[in-house]
Structures are given as C-alpha cells and as structure tokens.
Amino acid sequence: MREREARDSTPAFRSTSRGIKPLTLSHSLLSAYSNPKISQKPYHVQKTVDNPDTFPFHKSVSALWEQKWRQPASMGIYPFVDAQVSDFDPIFAALKTSSNDNPTILSDPDAYATPFFPIASSLVARARTLEQSGDTPAARDLYLRAAAVYCTARFPINRSPLSQKAWEAGKAAYMAASPCLSPPNTEVEIPFSHASPAAGESAAAPIPAYLRLPAGEPPSEGWPLTLFICGLHAYRTDHTPRTTAHVRRGCAVLSVEIPGTGDSPASRGDPAEAERLWSSVFEWIAGNAEKYSFDSGKVVARGVSTGGYYAMRIAHTHADKLLAVEWIRAQNHMEYPFALADVLAWKFGYGSVEAYVEGELRKRFSLVENGVFEMESARMLLINGMEDSIFPIEDSEVALRFGRVKEARWVEGRGHMGNPGAEETLLGWIDEVGGGK
C-alpha cells in the first residue's frame, strides 16, 4: 500500500484548430502572492492573522467539534459531505476522552484516526446487509455515510499508515455507493503518458479519476465536460453534491486529484509536475471524446481551494502556484481547523515547516516570478470570500493585474472559497460560457 499525502477555483477550456484551450474559473486561488514587488501588508484580514484568539476552536478537541465542525456536519457540507452528524458525536466524544481534550492529538494522524474506524466499519456492515436484502437506496446512503467518516478520519491529509487505510476504505465505500448515484459514478484510469522517470514518476502508474455522465442521450455535439480539480483535503470521493449539480445541468464531470494528494502519481515538489499531469489528462480527454460523447470544444476546468492554483496554471497553458511565506507561521492558528502549514509542507514535498519556509517555494512555483501570468490565458472567473484567512483575497487580486481581463466576484462576509453564495455564481457563469445547461 502506497502512502500519499493530502488537500479546493475554476478554469474552462475551448478547443481550437490547435487543440484544447482553457477558459477559466478560479475559486479561492493560491497564486503567487508573496512576490515582494506586489505583496504589501496589511492584508484585508491582517487583524485576524495577528490574533491567535480569533479562531478559538484550535484550543481543544471539544472546541473543534462544537465551535467549528458540528454545524457543517449537521448540514452535510464540507468537510462533511454525505455525512450524518450522529455518526460523529461519539467519535469526537472518544477523541476528547482519549486525549484529555488536548488538541495535540490532531497532530498525531494515527491516534486521531483510530476512533473513526469502528463507526465507519459498522456503517459498511449495515449497508451490505441492506444491499443483500435489495434495499439499494438505503444501502447507498449508508455507504456514503461511511465514506464521509473515513474522509474525516484522514483529515487533513493521508500521511500515515492509518490515514492511508482510511483513504483506501473510504474509496471502497464510495465506489460501493457509486452505481446507485443518479447518475452513476464510475472510475477511469488515465495513462500517465507524460510521466518523468527522472522525477520519480512512472508511466505504469495511472492517474485514477472519477467520471459522471449526465442521464439520457447526449446532445448532437456531445456533453460539455467539467474537469474538476480537487483540493488539498477533499479528493474525488468528497464532492457528490458539486458533481451532481454539474451533471444535472447537462455537463459531464471528470474528477482528478492534484499532485501530492489522494492517488495522484505526479511527483511532489516539482514545479513541472503540473504540466506532465494535466497534459496526460487532456490527452486522455481528446482520445476518449467519442467513447464518452464529450464535446471537446466545451471543456471547463474547475479548481477548488488549493486546486485553484492548478486551475490558474492550466488557464495559462500550465503553470504552478505559490503560498505567501509571511503567511506560513500564521496559518496554523487560522480558519483551517488543523495545522495548515504542516499540511502544505507535506503536500509540496518538504519534511518540515522549517524546510518549507526556508525553501525556495516562491521562486519555484510563483505564477508571477515564473512569467505564467504574462502568458496568453483563457477566459477566467475568480471567486473567493473577502474574509478568507487561508488564501487572502489579495492573492486572488494578483491575477487581475496581469494578462487578459478577467471576471471576479468577492463574496462579502465569507471565508475560504466564498460559500455560501459562491457556488450559485460559478454554476451560472459556466452556463453562460457554454459549459452547462
């Protein structure tokens, strides 16, 4: 079993006589904001950054559950998509007891994941019994609930034996539910045709992806396609409502994980990994357009959270992204419920936060310093919340200073990714550019 690590914006693409070319939406992008010629304090959320008490849910396990997570769990929204809150109450009670309510358990991925497994296993066993009795809708719902429990068990990234086990078990539960989704979800394996052995990649390791096609007969020109670029933590098993919204608007959805997360075979920490990964994906899309009835002239790439960085690269024909170094230390006490700096260090291939801070991340990944923003780009929409303390709004504004004129929406009073409110805007935008309905 291979251990991986973990990780949510939006570009689109139109084909020309020269091939697929991106149109773009970017949802909470993390572009190259720490360029010293551009970034200037204070940020819009500087007071938030400077005050560790702004987010008190970091102080204990019970605070995390009661103040940060129980409400989204009761609503079935990120990071509790497909979940039922009653599955999580006993889990967090057990975590509180085993840790004496000490939040340091959140930095021990195996100790943190342990109490999730009995609940998830019980849900899977109940789902199998219902499936055998012919009650497939009820079985589907239990499988999805189990996948949601496993998803939170590996939060924020599958970087240990038990969190990797949760990822594998979560995929199995989700795929057990997939045939009963409306429309169904299927798994496809995309050849990693542009893999670089020199970077430790192998063409024999496929790019796993999920594909959902709208119900009914495709239009004469084929289905528009949304390339759904997953984020730092939420992988291809974790976006059922979002992919459902796209397919119900007449758009096929292909979900792919970013380098350093989920099952991505792309090398971590190599700026060129993005080009190799997405070139392989686009090659597969073009080669399978007839098989799946894709309209290769209407491919929309949507990146969520950290995936927005890769969306921006794709929009400019491929490029990468960067995190503001002055935000590294503050990230561990802000909006993100776990130690984000540690997670990003892991995702980008660094052994520690210190190495991450001292490394040349900006120089290697910056869309500004590497000239990506100076390249011809596709049409883009950028969406984020004004109060995002993970990737500040100034980060998104950098993209507006370069290249082609872009469309943007900053959602007042909202945090990371601008929800509630952003989802409806971006779906309407995709419809407008021809990638849906």
Catalytic residues: 305, 388, 416
Backbone conformation region of residue 399, classed left if phi is above 0, alpha if psi is from -120 to 50, else beta: alpha
Q: Which residue has the tokens 């909202």?
A: 414
**61 and 71 Cβ atoms separated by less than 8 Å:** no
Tokens of 350: 């660094």
Could you check whether the bond before residue 22 is cis, i.e. omega within 30 degrees of 0? no
Q: How far apart are CA 315 and CA 334, in angstroms?
A: 29
Could you check whether the bond before residue 241 is cis, i.e. omega within 30 degrees of 0? no
The HSE-up count of residue 139 (CA atoms within 13 Å, CB side) is 18
The DSSP output letter for 348 is T
- What lies within 8 Å, CB to CB, of 338 at 6+ separation is 106, 107, 155, 156
- Among the listed residues 73, 65, 71, the one whose alpha carbon sits nearest the alpha carbon of residue 92: 65
DSSP alpha helices (H): ranges in 154-272? 161-177, 240-247
Q: What is the 3-state secondary structure (H, E, C) of 42-81?
A: CCCCHHHHHCHHHCHHHHCHHHHHHHHHHHHHHHCCCCCC
Tokens of 110: 């195996």
